[in-house]
Chain A
Amino acid sequence: MLLVRVAGLVAGFLTIALVATGCGSGSADEASGSAAGATAVRVSLSDDGCRADPASIAAGPATFTIKNENGSSVSEAELMSGSRILGEKEGLTPGLSGSFSLDLKPGTYQLYCPNAKTERSDFVVTGTSASASSSSSAAAAVNAATAGYSAYLKDRAASLVTLTSTFVAAVKAGQVDRAKALYARARAPYEAIEPVAESFGDLDPAIDAREGDVPAAEWGGYHRIERQLWVAGNTAGMAPVADKLLADVRTLATRIAGSSFQAADLANGATELLTEVSKSKLTGEEERYSGTDLSDIAANLAGSRAAFDLLAPALAGSSSGMGLVTTIRSRFARTDALMAEHATGGGNYRPYRQLEPAAIRELTVAVDALAEPLSQLAEQVVTIK
């Protein structure tokens, strides 16, 4: 994440590139304010380096308040454990201050002030912590998240099988109106777990290919039936397609039950679901016959939110993680509010073609605003030990 300082002898004297961090974009102001009972550490930032007062504290909660006294080449301070950033404050131009809070276990940490004459100085935490250390509780939270996600996937897969069975029955019975009414709801669990389904390779094209994605002779799945229902207005020839669809979603459920996932899979999956939203649903290309794209978007967002909510507790141990969580939460709230404007009750949404261009734009802006910080989640999660 950090580009380290760079030295090079150029034209006879030393040139150093500025250190840039990867955490600058997308996150709102970092969490600030002192935690109750926390040890206060004042860090003064100058061109010479960053100086902590006191230079050593006992293990437990601590609030670091960083002030840039007059440093013109320094603007941030980080508390690091090895290569991992535990807390940081950026954008501190001269005179500005900011803070972050952490629960620290005993050990030697480093205060890192990019561009200062002395960039790194040790910060020692002594004794034994009364509370659980941030890293071990974070690691436990990661385990809880991956276990929770496995349960979520199984639950969604079970719903998918149930709802698709009902849909398939309507198709095979030639009940066009009923099948159309069931279509979007039947697909929703699939859209909530789509990146996982895609990870099984052959199943996603069989279940979810759009016209032209696969050779015409092989085309089946939801969208084949969608076209028959909305364009032809009947279910002619759909019985074998419907049977195959149900068999495929059952296979998917079986495979999900036998799989396990890493925390990074959750985080990356949460972002991939939003890529799905941007790629084909906000353009109305996914459900080109039924116009039920907003139902897919709602399901994609729900799946993304589920993964994020499970991971959020694991990030609570670092101020940068907390800042990210807070930002992502508020951005989910924004997309939820916009989606609610288009809900028509019973889990249904207005057809895509009824959306004004301004509404599509508004939704796209909100999804971009959400996806940007969400994309930073994976790297935060994988550094948790």
Chain B
Amino acid sequence: MSAHFSRRGFLAGALGSAAAVGGVGVLAGCDPAGPAASRPAVVPFRGAHQAGIATPAQDRLAFAAFDVPGTSRTELVDLLRRWTLAAERMTRGEPVGAVDGSEHYVPADTGEATGLAAANLTLTIGFGPGLFDSRFGLAGRRPAALRELPRFAGDELDPRISGGDLCIQACADDPQVAFHAIRNLNRIGFGVTAMRWFQLGFGRTSSTTPSQQTPRNLMGFKDGTRNVNGEVPADLDAHVWVGPNSDQAWLTGGSYLVSRKIRMGIESWDRDRIGDQEAVFGRTKVEGAPLTGQHERDEPDLAARADGTPVIPADAHIRLAAPESNGGVKILRRGYSFTDGVDPVTGQLDAGLFFICFQSDPATGFIPVQRNLATDALNEYIKHTSSAIFACPPGPADGQFWGQQLFS
């Protein structure tokens, strides 16, 4: 067994000797200077950028948006401090507090992740436009680009599952670890925050590094093959991280998160012939190659024509989403497949893509790309039902709380 510790080790040890240790100061499992190899499946919580953005996409998602019903800046900052302690512990695979105690003790940690490893848990916080109204003295700190997204063609947004003052994205390779993280942060937030909406994602649909296989979405296609590569700092600096010259210095090193819940017309799609499915995406279904190539990572030839018509159709998804069609714009996609069971009205599957993307500026990222997708052939089979935008601060440095840059 390696030297990282898990919740299992934590509790097993807790049942053992209470007084066995004295005078040992080095915490092997959480020493930030320790070798990464000794801490498998633990993603550092602190750093120049928040984890969970360029981090290789984990398998599972739990995403929560919160309202802040109150008006106290002090309470909000106090919560961010308490969230920071809890979040850092959970990303190490530790409980937020004791699971067990004397008879009348109410467990501080809810316990369902007991015995599970850290599972690469990342927790990423974002601030919504609503936080920058008059309540918390932050009106002067709102980045100009942080405003509600414009209405896009075909939007059928449900306000109950859109927007929010704060968000926390939990990604992990174990669904219960991701759920546990959101549940406990929500609980800690009672009295200051109220969960506005919550989305589980059961499978990643994006690869944020080329070493990861591009997974398939629920339509059976590989999409986002040409995503920003999270291992190339220059790409991240160019497209994902907010640079030093933005209007709000506190956001330097941060990023804008856009989330869109995209419901798929699964039943209709499944009846579509393969030729049309491939024309809709502009890729082959099994290999995932562009219609002008042989392999998934072949560059699509958007100019190629056959019999006088474009090989990749004018309304194909990969054409309209391509950087070449959007002035070179790239966004970092980090979406997950979801299902919420059965549509209570129609009895059809309620499933699709919970799309998440990160960019240095939504005005040159998601917004123009989504506008360009107004004529996307895919629109016949999808509708956007929720939408949100958040400014994710840079990562907390040692000793800082989450988002401290905004408040200092």
Contact = CB atoms under 8 A, between A and B. Distances in A.
Interface of A: 1-8, 10-11, 13-18, 20-26, 28-29, 47-48, 72-73, 75, 90-91, 93-95, 115-119, 264, 267-268, 327, 331, 361-362, 365, 368-370, 372-373, 375-376, 378-379, 381-382
B78 interface: yes
Contact of B96 (A5, A25, A75): A25
Contacts of B12: 8
Contacts of A267: 104
Interface string B1-45: 111010001101110111111111111111000000000000000
Interface stretch (B106-114, B140-148, B318-326, B371-379): B106-114
Contact of B399 (A4, A17, A28, A95): A95
Interface residues of B, number: 58
- Interface secondary structure of B, over-half rule: loop
Contact of A25 (B3, B21, B97): B97
Given A2-B98, A6-B14, A25 B89 contact: no
Contacts of A11: 1-3
B247 to A, nearest CB: 28
B102 interface: yes
A10 B39 CA distance: 13
B109 A20 contact: yes
**What 5 pairs between A and B have smallest CB-CB spacing?**
A6-B13, A369-B191, A22-B108, A7-B21, A378-B104
A6 B16 contact: yes
25 contacts: A3-B10, A4-B18, A6-B13, A6-B14, A8-B9, A10-B3, A10-B5, A11-B1, A13-B3, A14-B26, A15-B3, A15-B27, A17-B13, A20-B89, A24-B96, A24-B108, A25-B188, A28-B75, A72-B399, A90-B85, A119-B22, A361-B194, A372-B190, A373-B191, A378-B106
Interface string B387-408: 0000000000011110000000
A372 B105 contact: no
A95 B109 CA distance: 28
- Interface secondary structure of A, over-half rule: loop
Contact of A94 (B9, B190, B399): B399
Nearest to A368: B190
Contact of B106 (A3, A4, A361, A376): A376
A16 B81 CA distance: 23
A117 B23 contact: yes
Given A7-B13, A20-B95, A24-B85, A379 B104 contact: yes
A7 B17 contact: yes
B268 interface: no
Given A90-B85, A369-B192, A372-B190, 14 more contacts: A1-B98, A4-B18, A6-B9, A11-B1, A11-B2, A15-B29, A18-B27, A20-B94, A21-B98, A22-B101, A24-B86, A93-B400, A117-B25, A365-B190
A365 B194 contact: yes
A73 B21 CA distance: 16
Nearest to A20: B97
